[in-house]
A and B are shown apart, each in its own frame.
Chain A
Amino acid sequence: MTQLALVIDLNVCVGCHACVTSCKEWNTSGAAGPLADLSPYGANPSGTFFNRVQTYEVGEFPHTETVHFPKSCLHCEEPPCVPVCPTGASYKRKEDGIVLVDYGKCIGCKYCSWACPYGAREIDEERKVMTKCTLCVDRIYDTSLPEAERKPACVMACPTNARLFGDVHDPDSVVSQAIRENGGYQLMPEWGTQPANHYLPRRKTRLRIHEDELLRADNPLKIEGRQPRPALSEPSLDDVTSW
């Protein structure tokens, strides 16, 4: 059974927010839109975004890591938002595992957002419906797009290619391989939600230099160290003594 998901590589994410606004621009005029912006030019602007990037500092100076952490619906395999929905608006698709909201049935009661331990849902204050990441379901099956572009908008946009997209149930997919080989992990697995989205951790590359690598036979200082010979005509002891 297919389970589509994102794998987000924190090792290369620079926190540029390309995923945040590319998602917004695709979805506001797409099947899940429009995504309202309240007070767009006033105090405390607040709009609906399916993707957000949070930035954390870890550790104390100077051993500080700055972590950019993109967050969106994790398309859980056991989504706690689905059973709490009184109208059946919140549902998980069998065919690809995407968790969606049927706006026609949603009454905006917010039970699902209370149930979601990840804070991934966003109430649309204009339409009074619950919204969330759809994995760009209105893009990824669009056969009018070239096959290479049938991916979520955030994946297409990401300048560091930190966002991988595919079927985490297919062991040969790019995402499964990345999870397997790079220590991919789920958020808060202890909740039993089985998030489909995974994150790849930071990895460090170091260089070890052995002491004896510093000095080599061809060290140019050996050439430079050879001092010029004085001219034969310059004074020497020969000029002053005969022993």
Chain B
Amino acid sequence: MALAVTLPLMSAMPAPAAPVDEVRKTTCYMCACRCGIRVHLRDGKVRYIDGNPEHPLNRGVICAKGSSGIMKQYSPARLTRPLLRKAGAERGAGEFEPISWEQAYSLLAERLAKIRASDPKRFALFTGRDQMQALTGLFARQFGTPNYAAHGGFCSVNMAAGMIYTIGGSFWEFGGPDLERARLFVMIGTAEDHHSNPLKIAISRFKRNGGRFISINPVRTGYSAIADEWLPIRPGSDGALLLALIHELIGQGLYDRDFLVRYTNAGQLVNLDEGSDEYGMFLRTEVPQEEGCFDPQNQLWWDRASNRPVVTHSEGCDPYLLGEFRLADGTPVKPAFQLLQERVKDYTPEWAEGITGIPAATIRRLAQEMGVTARDQKIELPIAWTDCWGKDHDTVTGNPVAFHAMRGLAAHSNGFHTIRALAILMTLLGTIDRPGGFRHKAPFPRPIPPCAKTPNTPLAVKPNSVLDGMALGWPAEPDDLFVDEAGNPVRIDKAFSWEYPLSVHGLMHNVITNAWRGDPYRIDTLLIFMANMAWNSTMNTAQVRRMLNDRDEQGEYKIPFIVVCDAFQSEMTAFADLVLPDTTYLERHDVMSMLDRPISEFDGPVDSVRVPVLAPTGECRPFQEVLIELGTRLKLPAFTTKEGERKYRDYPDFIVNYETEPGSGIGFLAGWRGRGGEKFMRGEPNPRQWEMYAQNNCIYHHELPRSYQYMRNWNQGYLDWSQRSRITRYAEPILIHLYSEVLQKFRLAAQGKGLSRKPPAHLRQRIETYFDPLPFYYAPLEAQATDTRSYPLAAVTQRPMAMYHSWDSQNAWLRQIHAHNYLFVNGRTARASGIDDGDWIWVESQWGRVRCMARHSEAVEPGTVWTWNAIGKAAGAWNLAPDANESRLGFLLNHVISEELPSPRRGEGQGERGQAFISNSDPVTGQAAWYDVRVRIRKADAGEEARTAPQFAPLQPYPGQEKRRSVWTYFARSGK
């Protein structure tokens, strides 16, 4: 499409450049948000990339990263050829020779076929911030290995698990704050990098509409900068604050009683007979129920009118929420809400002040602001709907207090209970899936917990067989754990074991250490996709790099074969035996699938695609094509016919024609199914599906009727629709778990009660402590294992809005915004240690130390130091010059963070370090506790180098990489 440019007033400007030739729409991937973009091309080069105004996510806007896609596409860090480590070269040196794809495929297929035929779990596939877990998960399962996960375990699994195990939904992809109608918005902890453009749009509109924005964060940066009030808090103490807020809301009667009664388990009676195997479980009527993945509605209330137990939701009944009662057989019982009130009794604002650093009066005021806003600024929308108990409602009510939190809450070893407390606070205010509060996004809400399960026995892993179950799932009870008869883990990362029972996203952060140590076993091949596990995505970076290069007594690598697929040269690719060059987001097809994490809106499901805008660079091939090719060569059933022939020509063909089972009509894309594209969610494959997505802004948006857009946990219309669409199996109500029976089941097992599996002796106390059915506060595990007088400061990272993890140091424009990072230290704290602004200092933890530059700041609480995440790089990595700021002046905080803590088995002398260790993670979910580290700082000595330490031997460019320019004058036209 040729565009005529008229510039009538440009007489004194240079002649206008040629107009763009073509505009192609696709989906951004400069971070994980998945905004719609338009790529404007001139002479086959990218002229500019802007936001697609017709896209529901970003509505035309674009961020600093999205606007810098050009510099990613043409970066000299790009890998362009498959590479094999040079014979004799050490891992980490980055010395490679190019090979052909055919060589790469046959080498890999041969090796993997041997593993699959002997012991499939010796192949491990772990992926980073990819957006194709539906495919990578399918590949792993088809291969038969349980050793698969994406990066969630070291990202925000506490957020996912804490909320999904409580309200059946979570922040970001699966739900979020409804700022369009909220009056009060409370953001806790760093959350800038998730759903960033939509959140920026929403916060700005919210503020302009007169909403009040409170930010609770040790640091005032990012969105906190424009908060009406900033409440500096000590890292890891959020749970104490939230519990004190709950204490206040209950104490003042500022909770939404009607909401709690009808939509949560607050009124359900808990068995308190200490001698019973059912202790701490809900009382249930004897009515036989269909077994299924939902809460059967057979619990009891104590009815206020008749003063006797009744089945919940009985017509005309209203339960006591407080009090204690005795059943006819003498069993003592209490409503769950009573137990919650008892739990928070001592969590006073004064108590929380000592832990959080927030004055008690402020905590009281905060609780009152929340409670009064929720109660007195109610929204009533004239939307009729019917609840699961058959009651018709003329309106949808909203209590306009909204929250948002992500990694700041999640990345602590007490994060699961903190986030349970947040979900309960949101519930007490009556804000779940209501206007102005938290709203779900399809395919959530889901049952608590969701139905997917891993196998629960090592027998599920068999040679030449598909894994009998999912690699990742949602345990509902101890019998769902993926352990052997002795209670030992089946997975290499020990996910779903007694160490971290609800590790629903796996523990990628322990894979290398475990594989290196051979605990629980050795593996053969580790395939890493798009994760920088030799640098910023690992804790204990220097040691982990040694592990990657370590050999056993026979001289063999402890991790025998490492394959890395990435579009860019990184610290991790240097450790690969085989490097597979991936395409960029502008060069490939992708799907943001309902089977994974789609881009749904509050008003209904949305999925989306990427379509190639540019031809692949060099010999780059999309990782999806690699998986389909390998799947075909390995004759995995999903990718081959019964006769063992190739089933799918390529990835686009796979996406169109793959069905979860033959004739199921469910595939990766939900939109334009059916032969003519007339069906949604279920329908026959449509050969024109890609085309239809491409013609429709690369999305499919199914807007629900308004009566299905709220109260979805209990909205019969929505749940029926969801069931008919096969989004869920059951159309049963999803009551909020103020009180968690799931957690109690694990605790009972630890107490030796019941018939379920029991934890091994050394983990019994850990399970009993941390599987508390009600949230509680404990100091982060690392703080408990640290002399906090020696290491008085908490060290955390924040996310710069112009960088996504380590992805953008190779981006010539973005690196000019953050070429190196400082450690920000409160001025008073710094001066007390004699540290001037700009001084070189050492940051030391009990695990390691790093040298960096200090910057005084008044926007950080005095007990916290912080820096931007992942700005520091290893010399020569990402094809930066060895003297680039990133490796000279910038630093990586990971050097002072350990991936492990001493375990309850300490002293038994197990393992190569002479002691047993356990992951530095949340004991419930295995969430990496990045933000728990405690440090001290001191000025570097006068004679020391003005350079970060530790340093690593500089990487050299790989074969096929473009030369670094010394000056770049980018101008989109051919030949330049």
Query: Which A residues form the contact surface with B (CB < 8 A)?
Result: 11-18, 20-22, 24-26, 28-47, 49, 55, 57, 59-62, 64-68, 91, 93, 95-96, 100, 102-104, 126, 134, 137-138, 141-144, 148-149, 153, 156-162, 202, 204-207, 209, 213-214, 216, 219-229
Contacts and interface: CB of A to CB of B under 8 A. Distances in A.
Interface in B10-43: 10, 12-17, 19, 42
23 contacts: A14-B225, A17-B801, A22-B50, A22-B64, A29-B970, A31-B16, A33-B969, A41-B76, A41-B879, A41-B881, A45-B885, A57-B859, A61-B859, A61-B862, A126-B967, A126-B969, A156-B61, A160-B200, A205-B211, A214-B368, A220-B321, A224-B320, A224-B321
B968 A14 contact: no
A227 B211 contact: no
A37 B968 contact: yes
A221 B826 CA distance: 44
A13 B372 contact: no
A43 B883 CA distance: 6
A46 B885 CA distance: 12
Nearest to A68: B225
A220 B257 contact: yes
A214 to B, nearest CB: 6
Contact of A21 (B67, B323, B883, B972): B67
A153 B50 contact: yes
Contact of B64 (A21, A28, A40, A64): A21
A228 B323 contact: yes
A209 B858 CA distance: 30
Contact of A57 (B68, B372, B857): B857
A214 B969 contact: no
A16 B506 CA distance: 32
- Which of the listed residues A20, A21, A224 has the most CB atoms from chain B within 10 Å of its own CB? A21
B48 interface: yes
A159 B201 contact: yes
Contacts of B322: 224-225
Secondary structure at the B interface, as helix, strand, loop or mixed, is loop
A214 B253 CA distance: 9
A44 B253 contact: no
A213 B203 contact: no
A142 B880 CA distance: 38
B182 to A, nearest CB: 12
Contacts of A102: 12-13
A202 B372 CA distance: 26
B372 A205 contact: no
B376 A34 contact: no
B966 interface: yes
Q: Which 8 A-B pairs have the closest CB atoms?
A: A220-B257, A160-B204, A40-B812, A17-B64, A159-B200, A221-B253, A42-B881, A34-B969
Interface stretch (B216-224, B441-449, B523-531, B933-941): B216-224
B542 to A, nearest CB: 24
A29 B971 contact: yes
B880 A226 contact: no
Nearest to B251: A221
A101 to B, nearest CB: 9
B225 A16 contact: no
A22 B8 CA distance: 24
A36 B62 contact: no
Interface of B: 3-10, 12-17, 19, 42, 47-51, 53, 58, 60-68, 70, 76, 184, 196-197, 200-201, 203-205, 207-208, 210-213, 220-226, 228, 230, 232, 252-255, 257, 302, 304, 307, 320-323, 325, 365, 368-369, 372-373, 375-376, 801-802, 810, 812-817, 819, 826-828, 857-862, 879-881, 883-885, 888, 964-973
B184 A207 contact: yes
Nearest to B815: A45
- Which of the listed residues A46, A214, A220 has the most CB atoms from chain B within 10 Å of its own CB? A220
Contact of B801 (A14, A45, A149): A14
Contacts of A103: 14
Contacts of A47: 812-813, 816
Given A67-B225, A220-B255, A144 B3 contact: yes
Contact of A20 (B817, B881, B970): B817
B226 A35 contact: no
Given A31-B13, A47-B813, A157-B63, 20 more contacts: A16-B200, A17-B64, A24-B67, A31-B7, A40-B965, A41-B880, A42-B884, A57-B858, A59-B858, A61-B827, A64-B230, A93-B9, A96-B9, A100-B13, A103-B14, A144-B3, A159-B201, A209-B369, A224-B321, A228-B304
B226 A13 contact: yes
Nearest to B302: A228
Contacts of A221: 253
Contact of B61 (A91, A157, A220, A222): A157
Given A14-B801, A18-B64, A228-B325, A37 B9 contact: no
A105 B282 CA distance: 84
Secondary structure at the A interface, as helix, strand, loop or mixed, is loop
Contact of A61 (B3, B223, B232, B372): B232
B931 to A, nearest CB: 20
- Which of the listed residues A46, A57, A60, A162 has the most CB atoms from chain B within 10 Å of its own CB? A57
Contacts of B813: 21, 24-25, 37, 47
Given A18-B67, A37-B813, A104-B14, A26 B210 contact: no
B144 to A, nearest CB: 43
Contact of A207 (B204, B373, B816): B373
Nearest to B254: A214
Contacts of A93: 9
Contact of B13 (A40, A59, A137): A137
A36 B304 contact: no
Contact of A12 (B208, B880, B965): B208
B228 A156 contact: no
Contact of A25 (B48, B207, B321): B48
B372 A144 contact: no
A55 B68 CA distance: 21
Given A43-B888, A67-B225, A144-B4, A38 B253 contact: no
Given A12-B208, A14-B226, A207-B373, A41 B964 contact: yes
B222 A14 contact: yes
Contacts of A144: 3-6, 19
B365 to A, nearest CB: 8
Contacts of B207: 11-12, 205
Contacts of B224: 66
B6 A143 contact: yes
Contacts of B888: 43
Contacts of A55: 221
Contact of B9 (A14, A22, A137): A137
A57 B211 CA distance: 24
A13 B10 CA distance: 31
A17 B817 contact: yes
A116 to B, nearest CB: 19
Nearest to A91: B12
